[in-house]
Copies of this chain bind each other. A is one copy, B any other.
């Protein structure tokens, strides 16, 4: 099974009618709401995945749910593909358009509509950035938990599409665990509301399946999200280990003992060197791997949990334990970790994988990752959310060397297959997008994929929403 980044071939009838379509769209939501100049379309041709690009037919920038509904009605009538887009930070190509598609970018719908502390909820438009929710409620002692590294830029609509995670999701869960309700525009413009401020919902849990559906079931225009109270205190602690295996075995034992720190981040030696050179975080350099373990609560609670964790770490060859002594040191520790992708980009091109594995398989899969990269003669740096088994190997290569590029892609595929073969999953938080579409057959049996496609078709019988993504192009049974 070869992986490809091919899109569905554009519909020539749509391309031929481009000017008419643009004029119609302008009629629907106004000139200032439609981008159609090829030069102005360039920022929308790809996203954070960057491995492929297409200029879309046009981009719409609606300001209201009603405008999104009008746009969808029009596109459904003429079978025009639609690519929903937030900030375009997708790492799996989820927002990359196809040539015959209208991109509907939600970035102008960026208002926080309501903050409701009594129900610990905020109602926001889909284009609000992740971090701005926490910013809006921080002074009152609350925050919104999922924290993808792109949280300064990425939007809540995109987070819902990809079911985004982040370093602190070990304790607080990913987007689906913090989402209470959505307003959803269906393929034909129908607006439905799912969930809300009350517990549970009668009937089927459509909200759960919409979260993580990568813009294929409808366009989320509003979301009600859970607010949490900020902890009394939080303390990241560095643990340096003699071996990478020791560090990963330590993670398994921490979680297996029932402890749930807020975060357990893993960095191997190459990642430590790359990040320390960039961020001067004070990471120990004489170790093979380190864990950043963050605990939170009162001073007493943090001390107690740390004692327990340190006693576990001692059984796995810990060489250094460094508690942050100040807010500045704590910030430096996280800065090193959160800048890992940027710091890596300084020294080489890289592709970042996003597999998950059961924690009991962490050591085996890490070892397998090293073996695979050695086989292809490539360097790899591992920096990832270890506590929930979400691995992010960064495979380093030279993008101008076709052989290395092909080797990097092959190594990435082998690593994801390794994750699946160890009971894991192709994706933890970046989504399938176009990147991992063809690997879906490695994850799922035909019957599983067929049922997913039937569900997809029950929402979007014309398959106009983000149609080139997630499901392999061949054998779309319900298309």
| Residues of chain A whose beta carbon lies under 8 Å from any beta carbon of chain B | 116-121, 141-142, 163, 165, 173-174, 176-177, 186, 190-194, 196-206, 208-209, 211-213, 217, 227-230, 252, 255-260, 297-298, 300-301, 304, 356-360, 388-390, 419, 423-429, 432, 436, 439-440, 443-445, 447-449, 451-452, 454-459, 470-471, 478
Contacts and interface: CB of A to CB of B under 8 A. Distances in A.
A464 to B, nearest CB: 16
A168 to B, nearest CB: 14
Given A199-B356, A425-B201, A436-B202, A118 B256 contact: yes
A186 B389 contact: no
Contact of A360 (B119, B432, B439): B119
B192 A445 contact: yes
Contact of A208 (B117, B208, B436): B208
B300 A163 contact: no
A421 to B, nearest CB: 12
A199 B455 contact: no
Contacts of A196: 358, 423, 425
Nearest to A419: B198
Contact of A200 (B193, B205, B427): B427
A256 B357 CA distance: 36
A161 to B, nearest CB: 12
A358 B191 contact: no
B424 A203 contact: no
Interface centre among A360, A429, A478 (most CB of B within 10 A): A360
Nearest to A298: B304
A424 B206 contact: no
B198 A204 contact: no
14 contacts: A119-B359, A121-B358, A142-B258, A176-B205, A196-B425, A198-B389, A198-B424, A199-B428, A202-B432, A206-B452, A208-B211, A229-B260, A298-B300, A451-B458
A316 to B, nearest CB: 14
Nearest to A439: B202
Contact of A192 (B173, B209, B440, B451): B451
Contacts of A204: 209, 212-213, 217, 452, 455-456
Contacts of A360: 116, 118-119, 197
A424 B181 CA distance: 12
Contacts of A457: 458
A252 B197 CA distance: 13
Contacts of A424: 198
Nearest to A232: B304
